[in-house]
Chain A
Amino acid sequence: MNHRAIRAIYLFEMARTWRTLLQSIVSPVVSTSLYFVVFGAAIGSRISQVEGVSYGTFIVPGLIMLSVLTQSIANASFGIYFPKFTGTIYEILSAPISYFEIVLGYVGAAATKSIILGLIILATAGLFVPLHIHHPVWMLAFLVLTAVTFSLFGFIIGIWADGFEKLQMIPMLVVTPLTFLGGSFYSIDMLPPAWRTVALLNPVVYLISGFRWSFYEIADVSVAVSIGMTIAFLVICLVVIWWIFRTGYRLKN
C-alpha cells in the first residue's frame, strides 16, 4: 500500500478546501440557515407537529442530508474532474499507485469535507431549534456512510463528465429533485398513497429516514432497510468504479 500517495492526494484535496473556505463551508451553512428561517420559522410556525416533533426540528436531519449529499457529489466530482480538465491527471496515472489508493485519497477527502460540513450544519441548526439526538453513534454512522457513498457517486460523475455542463447536470437534474422529493421537508406518510409508492423508489428516502430515526426514533421505513439500501448503493458505486479503472474508461486511451 502506497500510504504516502494516499496521504499526498488527501492532503492536496483538503488544502483546496481550506483555500476555498468561503465556497466550501460558509456558503452551504448560509444557505442552510436560510432554509431554517424560511421553512423552520416562517412556514413551520403554521405547521403542527410531525409525528410528535415540531416542524423546525423535524427538518434538521433532512437538511443536513441535503447538504451532505450535494456537497459529497460536488467535492468528489470536482476533485477528479479538475485534474482531467487541466491535464495534471497524467501524474496520478503515471504514479506507482493503485486504483483503490487513488479512490481512497479523493473520496476520503471529499467525504471528510462533507462530514465536517454536516456537523457544522448540525451545530448551526442547534442555534435555531432545540435538538436531541437519540442515537449519536448511529447518527455518525449514517453521516459517514452517506458521505462516502455519495462521494463515490461524485467520483464516477467526475470521471464520466467531459465538460463542466455535464459535471453540473446530474447534481442539478437528478440529485436535487431526488433530495427534495426524498422527505427532507416532510414525512412521506404525508403524501397520497400513490405518491408514497413512487417515493419508495427514491433511494434518498431511505437515507433521510434512517438518519432521522437516529435523531428522533421516527422513520418512514425500517432502519434495517435504510442501512441495507445505502450499503447497496455503496456497492453499486464501488462496482462501477472498479469497472472504470479496469477498462480505463475516460481516463486512459
Chain B
Amino acid sequence: MSSIISVANLSKTYGSGFKALKNVNLDIKRGEIFALLGPNGAGKTTLISIICGIANPSEGRVLVGGEDIQTSYRKARSLIGLVPQELHTDAFESVWATVSFSRGLFGKPKNPDHIEKVLKDLSLWDKKDSKIITLSGGMKRRVMIAKALSHEPQILFLDEPTAGVDVELRKGMWEVVRTLQQSGVTIILTTHYIEEAEEMADRIGVINKGEIVLVEDKATLMQKLGKKRLTLHLQNKISSLPESLAHYELDLCDSGATLVYDYDTKGDRTGITSLLSDLRNAGIRFNDLDTTQSSLEDIFVDLVRTS
C-alpha cells in the first residue's frame, strides 16, 4: 500500500521553548485506520494540527497525497477532513447551514444529496434544522464529523472522537468509521480508549513526549509484545509452593486455590510443558485451566513507562 501521508523529520518547538514534537517520522498508508495513542501532552494534537495546517512546523516536511502541506496547501488540505478534540461549533447556526458552510469552505460545489447522506449516516437528519446550541454533546460531536465529511475527504482525522460519548453512541461511531474505511477513506484517530484502537485500528502508533515510540500492525504488536497468562485452578488448595517449582516464578492466588504463570509468547520455549510435568511430579492436580492474552492497554502502559 502506498503512503497517503508522509511525515519526515518533523519537529515543533513552541514559543515557550516547549518541544512538542521531536524529529517525528511517520507514514500513513492509503485506506488504513491508524490509531495514534499517547498520554496527555504527548504531541498527538500538535502532530494533527501541523498536518492540517492549524499550526506551523518548526522543522521537517509533511506530504499529503504527495503534496507538500506548505507549498501546495490547497491540494493537500482539500484531501483532509478534521474533527478536532474540542467541540467547536457555531452555536446559533442550524445543522444543515453549518455542514453546508464547511463544504463551501473547501471549495466544493453545492450538493444537497451528499449533505443529506452524511446527516442520515450520522443519524442527524431529523435535527437538520435545529440550532446547534440545542443539541446534546454526542450530537454536537456528530455534527463535527458531518462537517469534516461534507467535502468528501480522502483522509479523516478524528482527534479523540468518542471522548464524552456514551457506549452505545461510541459503537455507532465505530460503525460509521468502518463504513468510511470501506468507501476508501483513510482514517487517523487519536484516542485515550485503548479498546477503541484495539477494536478499530489496522496499525497503531504510540507517541510519548513528542517522539514516535513505535508503529506496528495491531496484530503484530499484540503478538510481539503480548504476554500470555496461564491460570490453573487447583483441585486442592496449597499453602506454599514446593521447592521444585520455585524457578517458574508462579503466583499463588485465591488463598492457594489458583496458580498464575506469566509467559512470553515471543520466546522459543514458553515453559508450559515442563511446568505441567513438574506440577504432576509434585503431586499438584488441577481441574481447569485458562489462558489470557494481555490487552493493548497493558502493552501501551508498558511502552510509555519504559520510553
Q: Which residue numbers of A lie inside 8 Å of B, CB to CB?
A: 2, 4-5, 7-9, 11-12, 15, 19, 86-88, 90-98, 248, 252-253
CB closest residue in chain B, given A251? B54
- Give the residue of B14, B92, B102 whose beta carbon is less than 8 angstroms from that of A91: B102
| Known contacts A4-B109, A94-B82, A96-B73; A248 and B56 CB within 8 A of each other | yes
Cα–Cα, bound, A95→B81 (Å): 9
Chain B contacts for A87, CB-based, 8 A: 84, 86, 88
Verify B107–A90 contact, CB threshold 8 A: no
Chain A contacts for B76, CB-based, 8 A: 96
- Give the residue of A12, A86, A92 whose beta carbon is less than 8 angstroms from that of B91: A86
Give B107 Cβ to nearest chain A Cβ, in Å: 4
Instruction: Kindly supply a per-residue 1/0 record for chain B positions 74-99, scoring 1 wherever the CB is within 8 Å of any chain A CB and 0 otherwise.
Output: 11111010101010111110000100
Verify A86–B104 contact, CB threshold 8 A: no
- Interface residue tally of chain B, by bracket? 20 to 34
Verify A12–B107 contact, CB threshold 8 A: no
Chain B contacts for A9, CB-based, 8 A: 105
Within 8 A of A (CB), among B97-139: 97, 101-109
| Known contacts A4-B108, A8-B105; A90 and B91 CB within 8 A of each other | no
Cα–Cα, bound, A5→B150 (Å): 13
Cα–Cα, bound, A184→B88 (Å): 42
- Give the residue of A88, A96, A248 whose beta carbon is less than 8 angstroms from that of B107: A96
Chain A contacts for B75, CB-based, 8 A: 96
Chain B contacts for A93, CB-based, 8 A: 52-54
Cα–Cα, bound, A8→B97 (Å): 10
Verify B88–A86 contact, CB threshold 8 A: yes
Verify A15–B97 contact, CB threshold 8 A: yes
Verify A88–B89 contact, CB threshold 8 A: yes
Verify A90–B104 contact, CB threshold 8 A: no
Chain A contacts for B90, CB-based, 8 A: 86, 88
B55 sits at the interface (CB 8 A) = yes
- Give the residue of A7, A86, A94, A97 whose beta carbon is less than 8 angstroms from that of B80: A94
Verify A8–B88 contact, CB threshold 8 A: no
Cα–Cα, bound, A2→B75 (Å): 11
Give B2 Cβ to nearest chain A Cβ, in Å: 22
B147 sits at the interface (CB 8 A) = yes
Verify B88–A90 contact, CB threshold 8 A: yes
Chain B contacts for A2, CB-based, 8 A: 74, 107
Q: Which residue numbers of B lie inside 8 Å of A, CB to CB?
A: 14-15, 49, 52-56, 73-78, 80, 82, 84, 86, 88-92, 97, 101-109, 147
Given contacts A86-B90, A96-B74, 11 further A-B contacts (CB under 8 A): A5-B106, A8-B103, A87-B84, A88-B90, A90-B88, A91-B147, A93-B53, A93-B54, A96-B73, A96-B77, A252-B56
Give A197 Cβ to nearest chain B Cβ, in Å: 43
Verify A90–B55 contact, CB threshold 8 A: no
Cα–Cα, bound, A93→B52 (Å): 8
Verify A5–B88 contact, CB threshold 8 A: no
Verify B105–A5 contact, CB threshold 8 A: yes
The 8 closest A-B pairs by CB, nearest first: A8-B104, A87-B88, A96-B74, A96-B77, A94-B52, A96-B78, A2-B107, A95-B105
Verify A90–B109 contact, CB threshold 8 A: no
Give B168 Cβ to nearest chain A Cβ, in Å: 27
Which of B84, B86, B107 gathers most chain A CB within 10 Å? B107
| Known contacts A92-B105, A96-B77, A96-B106; A253 and B56 CB within 8 A of each other | yes
Cα–Cα, bound, A92→B104 (Å): 11
Give A127 Cβ to nearest chain B Cβ, in Å: 33
CB closest residue in chain A, given B49? A253
Give A88 Cβ to nearest chain B Cβ, in Å: 5
Cα–Cα, bound, A47→B78 (Å): 63
Verify A95–B88 contact, CB threshold 8 A: no
| Known contacts A88-B88, A90-B84, A253-B55; A8 and B101 CB within 8 A of each other | yes
Give B256 Cβ to nearest chain A Cβ, in Å: 57
Give A79 Cβ to nearest chain B Cβ, in Å: 12
Verify B53–A19 contact, CB threshold 8 A: no
Cα–Cα, bound, A39→B107 (Å): 50
Chain A contacts for B82, CB-based, 8 A: 90-91, 94
Cα–Cα, bound, A129→B89 (Å): 46
Chain B contacts for A19, CB-based, 8 A: 92
Write 15 A-B pairs (CB below 8 A) sorted by A numbering. Answer: A2-B74, A4-B109, A8-B104, A12-B97, A19-B92, A87-B84, A88-B89, A88-B90, A90-B54, A90-B82, A91-B147, A96-B107, A97-B74, A97-B107, A252-B55
CB closest residue in chain B, given A89? B88
Which of B49, B75, B103, B104 gathers most chain A CB within 10 Å? B104
